[in-house]
Amino acid sequence: MNPIAFINLSTQKVVVKPISEKLRLLYLGGRGINMYLLYNYVREGLDPFSPDNPLIFGAGLLTGTHGMATARFNISAKSPESGNLGDSNSGGFFGPELRFAGYDHLLIQGRSPSPVYLWIHDGEIEFRDASHLKEYNLPQTLDAIRAELGDPDIQVAAIGPAGRKLVAFANVMCTIGNAAGRTGMGTVMGSKNLWAIAVRGKQSIPINNPERLMKAAEKQYRQITQTKGYKATALYGTLMRLAISRTQGQEPALNYQYNMLESGGEEFDPEVFIQKYEYGKMSCFNCPVHTKHLHRVPSGEHKGLTGSGPEYGGAGYFGSSCGTGDWVTIIECWDLSNQYGLDILTTAGYIAWVMELYQRELIDESITGMPIRWGDHDTMTTLIHQMARREGFGGILSDGWQKANLKLFGEKAKEYERYIPTIKGMTVDQDTRGTKAMAVGAATASRGGGCHLRSRFTMEEMDLPPEATKKIIGRPVPSDPDSYEGKAYPAIWMERLCAVGDALGICRFVTKWLSPGLLGFNELAEAVSAVTGYEFTPERLMEAGERISNLERLFLIREGLDRKDDRVPERFYEPWQYGYQKGSCIDKEKFETLLDEYYKEQGWDAEGIPTRETLERLELGEEPSHLI
């Protein structure tokens, strides 16, 4: 496989090293090797803004190959937003192009004395001046670098104004529709004075048995495109979750105060968006699902506004969570966030938070300088401008909710934390009161925020009979999503599938994370065996996912996290008010019993710390081992 480049921005020195066979077999690639590097190169208590905080780019083991949906790569560092594990995943074309340019991973340390971007092409790494990009937004930055290097097919991962100003929740974007969003990886990039990485290459990716991989890909293509999950996602993209969450009563309405937005009605529906605003679709590298929307506002004050998206997270959180069902407001907030390079889920979460504070008269116009009313278009867009520019009231939010809460409330800050639903320092991205496997997965998710991309046993919503789930994951799961019985293992199974998918560079939307008929460990093991030449059984692949998850747990433990941090927000102990699951909530006592079961299944002790036996079995007993 391709090597890793160690890049020191302070000295502009590059050291290239091979990735050992042992690391490949244990961690595969992508998120797996990124987590190994993060654990080995981040010392306990390291300041996320330190030049020593490694910024790690990692393409998956299958990224850029002719497997299905092999576009993904991960960016990892210690998070400036949460202070804990930072990691984000993106698709598009950057990951494959990084491998075509000759590298599978980049580990970037130090801080450049002036703004630079990296130009990586066919094994060469150059340091280029980036100071001329200072006034550009993110799309302009991407276009300017491609124009400067003279090739429209160059792939660029860049930060925008928010990252350059070190806003705590800045992201990294590769196109206007592909972002490595959560945990502030754009902030770390900005702290290093690294404003972009451009990649282009013509090198091939080593594959042990191309014919075997091609046959596996053909089989997977047929499997994917025949499922209902594929057909729905190809049409609606992630916006199909809007209709599902409204039907099931899982909308994050008014900052999770309610589980359904009373106003907004039928207008706030994916069908309306597609009919009125969508003019095309976009796909990532080698993906048949083409989930990304291309939008245009056809009339009114914002006529002509165009962009990519929105995805469910932005639509749901700029929508119902902020109290609106107006598509133009949602689209403009989405596009503004992308132009500045702000993580959309966090940005929307902060807006909803201050809207509730204003509603409860905990803040007023003497602090905000303007009314902060639910669903107001001008309020939302003004706050986005202010957050990204570090101006006005919104600028208070730019350093993250923890510092903002302290500035706003001083000695009462701890008391008022209940108004911003968070887990492990990150704003939550799903309401799991009525789905208990999802709830325990959210509470224990390694990057915080109740992350739906770290676990989320989606099949829990589908009312599948226990015999069906037994065929899929090896154990029966009660069909009642509100039941606590037997819900630990499904969360763990999905957690490991997600870890493997990220290590391979596979999109969630072609795996069983989305739909039970899609790809699981069996299909992925066939592709990994074809690429590596080693026979990977589904069990061996699942163990790799377990190893990655346990190493992430070790990182959190070293930073001082334990059982007390595996929780849901206080608001989730209050019952849902609407829908067929009206009355559902998290029962504290039952949840603690479920958490005990989760720890036992994981091979952890009562505080959530992996036992010595578990670490030895997973070959983690000697970490940090510094094999590379």
Mean pLDDT over residues 132-153, rounded? 97
Q: What are phi and psi of 83, to 5 degrees?
A: 80, 5
DSSP for 106-120, written as a single string: EEEES--SS-EEEEE
Alpha-carbon distance 424 to 561, whole Å?
A: 8
Does residue 481 have a cis peptide bond before it, meaning omega lies within 30 degrees of 0?
no
> Residue 469 gets which letter from DSSP?
H
530-568 pLDDT tens trace = 999 999 999 999 999 999 999 999 999 999 999 999 999
How much is the pTM? Answer: 0.97
Burial class for 410, CB neighbours closer than 10 Å (0-12, 13-18, 19+): exposed
Q: Quick one: pLDDT at residue 243?
A: 81
Evaluate whether 599 touches 452 at the Cβ level (below 8 Å): no
The full set of domains in the chain, from first to last, is 4-200 (3.60.9.10), 217-417 (1.10.569.10), 426-617 (1.10.599.10)
Helices (H), 397-513: 401-409, 413-416, 436-444, 466-473, 488-504
Local confidence band at 263 (pLDDT 50, 70, 90 cut-offs): low
Evaluate whether 42 touches 78 at the Cβ level (below 8 Å): yes
486-515 pLDDT tens trace = 999 999 999 999 999 999 999 999 999 999
Mean pLDDT over residues 180-187, rounded? 97
Question: Regarding beta strands 105-109 and 4-8, do their DSSP bridges make them parallel or antiparallel, or are they unpaired?
Answer: parallel
Q: Quick one: pLDDT at residue 177?
A: 87
40-72 pLDDT tens trace = 999 999 999 999 999 999 999 999 999 999 999
What sign does the dihedral 229-232-234-236 (CA atoms) show? negative
232-250 pLDDT tens trace = 888 888 898 888 887 788 8
Per-residue buried b or exposed e for 200-227, using 16+ beta carbons within 10 Å of the residue's own CB: bbeeebebeeeebbeebbeebeebbeeb
Per-residue buried b or exposed e for 360-377, using 16+ beta carbons within 10 Å of the residue's own CB: eeebeeeebeeebebbbb
- The alpha carbon of 335 is separated from its chain's Cα centroid by a whole number of angstroms, namely 18
Burial class for 481, CB neighbours closer than 10 Å (0-12, 13-18, 19+): buried
3-51 pLDDT tens trace = 999 999 999 999 999 999 999 999 999 999 999 999 999 999 999 999 9
Q: Quick one: pLDDT at residue 241?
A: 85
Question: Regarding beta strands 73-78 and 13-17, do their DSSP bridges make them parallel or antiparallel, or are they unpaired?
Answer: unpaired
Alpha-carbon distance 442 to 299, whole Å?
A: 40
> Residue 62 gets which letter from DSSP?
T
Evaluate whether 34 touches 56 at the Cβ level (below 8 Å): yes
Residue 374 belongs to what H/E stretch? none
Burial class for 123, CB neighbours closer than 10 Å (0-12, 13-18, 19+): middle
> What is the Cβ-side half-sphere exposure of residue 377, based on CA atoms within 13 angstroms?
10
Q: Which amino acid is at 589?
A: E
Q: What is the CA radius of gyration of the chain?
A: 23
The strand ranges marked E within 169-322 are 172-175, 178-180, 194-200, 278-282, 292-296, 306-308
Q: Quick one: pLDDT at residue 453?
A: 94
1 has pLDDT over 90? no
Least confident of 438-442, 460-464, 588-592, 611-615: 460-464
Alpha-carbon distance 288 to 595, whole Å?
A: 38
Burial class for 121, CB neighbours closer than 10 Å (0-12, 13-18, 19+): buried
Q: Which amino acid is at 245?
A: S
265 has pLDDT over 60? no
DSSP for 93-145, written as a single string: THHHHHHHTT-SEEEEES--SS-EEEEEETTEEEEEE-GGGTT--HHHHHHHH
- Extract the tokens encoding 608: 């959530």
Specify the length of the chain in residues. 628
Separation in Å, CA 577 to CA 87, 248, 256, 316, 375: 34, 12, 11, 18, 20
Instruction: With H, G, I as helix, E, B as strand and everything else as coil, classify residue 146.
Output: helix
Evaluate whether 224 touches 523 at the Cβ level (below 8 Å): no
Alpha-carbon distance 315 to 344, whole Å?
A: 10
Closest among 67, 57, 49, 118 to 89, alpha carbons compared: 57
